A and B are shown apart, each in its own frame.
Chain A
């Protein structure tokens, strides 16, 4: 099993450009998440999904959109990138949202630089 994979690993954008980050998991997990990591701030939840076809806002959703058309994939979109969106983005998945199944497994991250 590959676990959680993310594409691309690194990207440079100009302000105003758009892009989509792809997350894939092969563990048949119901829940998927997108986080951003900034120095000294830990991981902050952007959006999450509790199942195929569903999405919900997290702590810092502004400027991002997501889609979960297939259970194994979770896409994060930036419609008009801003320098404030320079960050490392992590995708994670979990079997469920409570109890022993709520442990989240993380991908390797996507490093995004917006100029």
Chain B
């Protein structure tokens, strides 16, 4: 099956610090998505990436689709307490049989200390 490694598994940071997390795949991906999950809720889309090299921002969040198409990065600048949650990367491999089927990373648990 698909291997999608997300790191780090958890982060404990101070409010105001910047955060970086990444996902790497053993296969080439056509799409990378980044989701955030608050406790007791379903994942909510943060950023979607569709082209290799694409760099997209959403407020304090910036994500990039790696040039090799096997990795993606998410950065959060000037973290605030409400950034707490689990961040998931997800991607879809190249190929017709993969339509609609996303592979999810294991998640990064972010804790922000005031």
Contact = CB atoms under 8 A, between A and B. Distances in A.
Give the interface size class of chain A. Answer: 20 to 34
B105 interface: yes
A108 to B, nearest CB: 5
Interface in A1-36: 4, 31, 33, 35
Interface residues of B, number: 27
A97 B48 CA distance: 14
Interface string A85-108: 000001010101111101111111
B1 interface: yes
A97 B99 contact: yes
B101 A45 contact: yes
A90 B100 contact: no
Given A97-B99, A97-B100, A98-B99, A103 B42 contact: no
Contact of B104 (A42, A96, A107): A42
Given A42-B88, A102-B31, A103-B33, A48 B101 contact: yes
Contacts of A31: 100
A50 B100 contact: yes
Given A42-B105, A58-B101, A106 B1 contact: no
A104 B41 contact: no
Contacts of B33: 103-104
A20 B44 CA distance: 25
A47 B106 CA distance: 19
Contacts of B42: 4, 90, 92, 106-109
B92 A102 contact: yes
Interface of B: 1, 4, 6, 9, 30-31, 33, 35, 40-45, 48, 50, 88, 90, 92, 99-102, 104-107
